[in-house]
């Protein structure tokens, strides 16, 4: 029984970490799939999370769930019940956190029970839909601040790289020389 509980907790906490930092954060910095499907204000996010059969929406959901699935597969040997319960609870949490659009308001006693554990409530996740720059973490809120810091860092680094490349291209155009693109090693100049 203890092993089942430990495996369940690992699937949820480590799976949320991996999903947040290896899928969600990169999607917000460099990619578009998640932003197009999950933060499109023209469509219901209840439809996105629960009802949609759009290939893009399903791909986004599957890619976000892969860390949980991989972890459950790794931990299956220790406790199939814990691994399966972790996946089931994670999926129920996905459905629950998208219920504000249906008029759900979390009862105060549930808020009081879940806040000490840092669990994302539907109202928290609704905030993420309304402002994609806040409320990171699929299941746990304690990943929000580190995720925001990572996003700020990666955006700054990416912007700097893009700016340097743009400046180089601009300088080459002004000088009338096209940038040289070579495949392979640069040959050394010969001695006359």
Q: What's the predicted TM-score (pTM) here?
A: 0.74
Q: How far is CA 7 from CA 2, 23, 71, in A?
A: 9, 22, 9
Count CB-CB contacts under 10 A for residue 153. 12
80-86's contacts with Cβ under 8 Å and 24+ in sequence apart are 81/4, 81/7, 82/3, 82/4, 82/5, 82/6, 82/7, 82/8, 82/10, 82/11, 83/7, 83/8, 83/11, 85/4, 85/8, 86/7, 86/8, 86/9, 86/10, 86/11, 86/12, 86/15
pLDDT on residue 192: 45
Helix (H, G, I), strand (E, B) or coil at 140: strand
Both tokens of 125, joined, read: 């996740």
pLDDT on residue 188: 53
pLDDT on residue 25: 85
pLDDT on residue 95: 86
Q: Write the burial class of residue 118 (CB in 10 Å: 0-12 exposed, 13-18 middle, 19+ buried).
A: middle
Q: Which helix (H) or strand (E) holds 82?
A: helix 80-96
pLDDT on residue 178: 54
Tens digit of pLDDT per residue, the chain (192 long)?
999 999 999 999 999 999 989 988 888 888 776 666 666 666 666 666 666 777 877 777 788 899 999 999 999 999 999 999 999 999 998 888 888 878 889 999 999 999 999 999 989 888 777 777 878 788 999 998 998 898 889 888 887 666 666 666 666 666 665 555 545 555 555 554
Count CB-CB contacts under 10 A for residue 136. 24
Distance (Å, rounded) from C-alpha 143 to C-alpha 21?
Answer: 9
């Amino acid at each position: 029984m203890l092993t089942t509980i430990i495996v369940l907790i690992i699937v949820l906490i480590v799976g949320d970490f991996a999903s947040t930092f290896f899928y969600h954060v990169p999607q917000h910095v460099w990619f578009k799939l998640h932003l197009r499907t999950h933060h499109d204000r023209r469509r219901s996010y209840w439809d996105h999370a629960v009802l949609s059969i759009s290939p893009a929406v399903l791909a986004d959901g599957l890619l976000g769930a892969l860390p949980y699935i991989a972890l459950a597969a790794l931990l299956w040997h220790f406790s199939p019940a814990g691994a399966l319960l972790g996946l089931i609870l994670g999926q129920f949490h996905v459905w629950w956190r998208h219920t504000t659009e249906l008029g759900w308001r979390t009862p105060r006693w549930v808020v009081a029970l879940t806040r000490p554990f840092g669990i994302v409530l539907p109202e928290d996740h609704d905030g993420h839909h309304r402002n994609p720059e806040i409320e990171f973490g699929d299941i746990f809120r304690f990943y929000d601040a580190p995720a925001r810091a990572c996003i700020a860092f990666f955006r700054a680094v990416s912007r700097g790289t893009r700016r340097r490349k743009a400046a180089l291209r601009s300088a080459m155009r002004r000088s009338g020389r096209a940038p040289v693109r070579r495949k392979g090693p640069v040959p050394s100049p010969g001695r006359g």
